[in-house]
Structure 1
Amino acid sequence: MKQLAILGSTGSIGRQTLQVIDSTPNTIKPVALAAGNNKLLFLEQVKKYKPQLISMQHEEDARWLQQQLDGFHQKIDICYGSEGLLAVATFSDADTVLTAISGAVGLQPTVAAIKAGKTIALANKETLVAAGELIMLLAREYGVHIMPVDSEHSAIWQCLQGENSHDVARLILTASGGPFRSWSSEQMAAITPAMALNHPNWQMGAKITVDSATLMNKGLEVIEARWLFDISYDNINVVIHPQSIIHSMVEFNDGSVLAQMGVPDMRLPIQYALFYPQRLAGKAPRLQWPIGELTFAEPDYERFPSLNLAFQAGRVGKTMPAVLNAANEMAVHAFLAGRLEFKAIPKLVAKVMEEHSPVQYNSLEDIMEMDSWARHRVEEIIG
């Protein structure tokens, strides 16, 4: 039985991962769980799955959990904060770590898990965006497999099975276009957080949903794809596909194109990553045939400049993608808090990028230093 540690068990990916486990009994045991602030749901998960180690973001929540679990028939070690994340990521009994927390906070525990020799099921795209070169070097050094969980990268991974990577001409990432793909620039000036959080196809956390609305999420996925599949940015394209049925495609040198299709349900890529190379029968819904019209369009880089910013940052490389990622995180949080307009998100990210002089990084500490600088700079600009 696979022993799994989950970073972010109460988030969207974490909850769906536990649904996959429920639908495939006696295959995976969650032995360590880490959560953020949702202590009530986390308590339910802990009582149901009985992990050996748990962690919460804040000390007071960890103490509350300790009180609630007093007298529980199984001993459970409880920790908190960044040290707790590291403890869950490196838990000795876990052979696989699912990184499902959002943002650059996932960097340090992912590095720790790699150094501990864990297989990584990667749902934290910011890890490869900010430090892709370092992460892939460490994975090779420690002989660790990184299994992509994002639906687009899972699709590419599936299309590449049995293929020679030298025969790949380009990767084609699909994007739904978000809820505002047909809105004019004038209409987009009035977008509120509630509007941006209403994604037409996917159920996701707040930050990634806003990123999908700005198309920054697709830009981050472009950078992630560059590192996962060792391919040039010139050979990565994005196409708008509103139905989200084709999750991504691979074009080969002979002109053939392989596409991976399925319902827009994250349980499918989660299950593929956790059970690879097996394909187990789960409870995710299936496509109903005929599936209807599938449409495709070029992204509008003028109305959605975030996508272009990501390509720019990726091509510059060095510490620029880390700065892009940190500035975007802060800008999105400011938008959700009502401190920033929707259309100001990419403008703010672009300003911070313009002020940054990228340098080659040699360690995780170098990345975190630039991450911190970008976050402070955003706060200074917002005021």
Structure 2
Amino acid sequence: MEFEKKIAVLGSTGSIGTQTLEIAREYKGIKIEAMSAHSNIDLIEKQAREFKPKTVCLTDEGKAKDLKIKLADTDIKVVQGKEGLIETATADSADTVVTAVVGISGLEPTIEAIKAKKNIALANKETLVTGGHIVMDLAKENGVAILPVDSEHSAIFQSLQGCKDRREVKRILLTASGGPFFGKKREELVDIKPEDALKHPNWNMGAKVTIDSSTLVNKGLEVMEAKWLFGTDNIKVLVHRQSVVHSMVEFVDNGVIAQLGAPDMRLPIQYALTYPNRLPMKNNELDFTKYPSLTFDEPDTDTFYALKLAYDALKDGGIKPTVFNSADEAAVELFMQGKISYLGISDAIAKAMSEIKNIENPTISDIWETDKLAREIVYRFEKESLI
């Protein structure tokens, strides 16, 4: 099958970005037109020399200057900072942007890419968590497709392919691995260190997402993202330890359609890039004989109460999802630095959510101001917890 796609990859040196490039390596019809990273100068130089994009960005401006020197023997344009990231996201020759940067920093370049009429392969869930009401309207206005890359949202998207009327959907069943601490109680998590939380049982992800998976924050973010992608807030989380059923859709007649596959992010990445077509993929076959049973459990929202906070944010809407996300970003940063406890992550989110008043229909300016305020509250929480 002949296939051609010209893409820009935001976050090319991260987990999703490097796997996107693996797929491009496999299918020569996928041309990398632009790529960005934050500061991993050695890896992005190697990537740039292999894939020969027109533009490369490092948001770390100091290292961008060094990269420009390193790539001086090529025709590749090196840009830097937030402006460079937006230039990468709106690259003229790209038709699709893979948004694989981590955190709320992915919101603005995604918005600019949509305005430039680029289809979005969305791996940055914070874009919809914080700005879903803006992003989805813009996508509709510009005739842009938002194609989910997260394995769970891709599974839902695939399960809905035969559904002609969304009123037939009863609810979404969003699966979660449960992370490394499934079955533990709060008293067992008091002395957890970053290296403990980074031991995910099934998935190879970046540090931030792995920590969020362990606290169930990541699942909370996915619940909020699913609302915008699929137009419903009737979303139930089920802990599925085997990570084989990536998510399910339950219909009004109580029938359930699920998407199954090996725990491999390349499949949802590739599907977002090749949709509506499916192309062959090597070395990710699902061997059912290795899974004699598939289990499903209710999440423990007493121990991992960040998930309950996420549902509260979903219900309240407005600016509350931004508060939840930004407080978590700051709290995970502090936890990774050893400045707050593991349980302090959820406590910090709760504090920020209780202190910041809701804004019903936030503007981009409201989102950025709230992001700053939520982080300030978490940093204050860190200092208070030391007293």
TM over 0.5: yes
Alignment of 1:304-323 (within 5 A): 304-323=304-323
Match of 2:6 in 1: 3
* Mean CA deviation greater in 285-294 or 219-228: 285-294
1:22-60 Cα shifts (integer Å, max 9, x gaps) = 122x21100000001111111100000000001002122
Alignment of 1:149-164 (within 5 A): 149-163=149-163, 164=165
Shift of 1:362: 4.6
Match of 2:299 in 1: 299
Shift of 1:144: 0.8
Amino acid at match of 2:347: K
Shift of 1:204: 0.4
Match of 2:49 in 1: 47
Shift of 1:325: 0.4
What runs of 5+ residues in structure 1 fail to find an aligned partner?
none
CA contact (8 A) 1:361 1:367 kept: no
Amino acid at match of 2:16: I
Match of 2:69 in 1: 67
Runs of at least 4 residues of structure 1 off by over 6 A? none
Query: Does the C-alpha gap of structure 1 residues 284 and 308 become closer, same or farther in structure 2, counting only changes over 3 Å?
Result: farther
1:63-102 Cα shifts (integer Å, max 9, x gaps) = 1111111223xx1111111111100011111100000000
> TM-score, normalization: structure 2?
0.96
1:206-246 Cα shifts (integer Å, max 9, x gaps) = 100000000010000000000100012xx210000000000
Shift of 1:343: 0.6
Are residue 104 (structure 1) and residue 104 (structure 2) matched?
yes
Match of 1:58 among 54, 57, 60: 60
Amino acid at match of 1:199: H
Match of 1:12 in 2: 15
Counterpart secondary structure, 1:343:
helix
- The CA distance in 2 between the partners of 1:27 and 1:283, in whole Å, is 17
Match of 2:326 in 1: 326
1:270-306 Cα shifts (integer Å, max 9, x gaps) = 0000000111002241111323211110000101001
Amino acid at match of 1:178: G
Alignment of 1:159-308 (within 5 A): 159-163=159-163, 164-232=165-233, 235-290=234-289, 291-308=291-308
Amino acid at match of 1:22: R
CA contact (8 A) 2:95 2:118 kept: yes
Counterpart secondary structure, 1:219:
helix
- The CA distance in 1 between the partners of 2:278 and 2:26, in whole Å, is 13
> TM-score, normalization: structure 1?
0.97
- The CA distance in 1 between the partners of 2:286 and 2:377, in whole Å, is 46
- The CA distance in 1 between the partners of 2:116 and 2:372, in whole Å, is 26
* Mean CA deviation greater in 15-24 or 303-312: 15-24
Match of 1:348 in 2: 348
- The CA distance in 2 between the partners of 1:304 and 1:87, in whole Å, is 39
* Number of aligned positions between the proteins: 378
- The CA distance in 2 between the partners of 1:253 and 1:284, in whole Å, is 36
Shift of 1:12: 0.2
- The CA distance in 1 between the partners of 2:60 and 2:347, in whole Å, is 33
What runs of 5+ residues in structure 2 fail to find an aligned partner?
none
CA contact (8 A) 2:57 2:88 kept: yes
Match of 2:88 in 1: 88
CA contact (8 A) 1:327 1:349 kept: yes
- The CA distance in 2 between the partners of 1:339 and 1:330, in whole Å, is 11
Shift of 1:363: 2.5
- The CA distance in 2 between the partners of 1:283 and 1:330, in whole Å, is 38
Counterpart secondary structure, 1:201:
coil
CA contact (8 A) 1:323 1:371 kept: yes
Match of 1:147 in 2: 147
Amino acid at match of 1:7: L
Amino acid at match of 1:52: K
CA contact (8 A) 2:319 2:362 kept: no
- The CA distance in 1 between the partners of 2:25 and 2:195, in whole Å, is 32
Amino acid at match of 1:225: A
1:148-199 Cα shifts (integer Å, max 9, x gaps) = 0000000000000021211000000000000000223221111100000110
Counterpart secondary structure, 1:361:
coil
Query: Does the C-alpha gap of structure 1 residues 199 and 97 become closer, same or farther in structure 2, counting only changes over 3 Å?
Result: same
Counterpart secondary structure, 1:179:
helix
- The CA distance in 2 between the partners of 1:105 and 1:347, in whole Å, is 23
- The CA distance in 2 between the partners of 1:253 and 1:112, in whole Å, is 38
Percent sequence identity is: 49
Counterpart secondary structure, 1:296:
coil
Shift of 1:381: 2.2
Are residue 372 (structure 1) and residue 377 (structure 2) matched?
no
Shift of 1:372: 1.3
Amino acid at match of 1:111: I
Q: CA RMSD in A?
A: 0.9
CA contact (8 A) 1:241 1:296 kept: yes
CA contact (8 A) 1:267 1:284 kept: no
1:324-366 Cα shifts (integer Å, max 9, x gaps) = 1000100011001100100111111001100011012352122
- The CA distance in 2 between the partners of 1:317 and 1:6, in whole Å, is 30
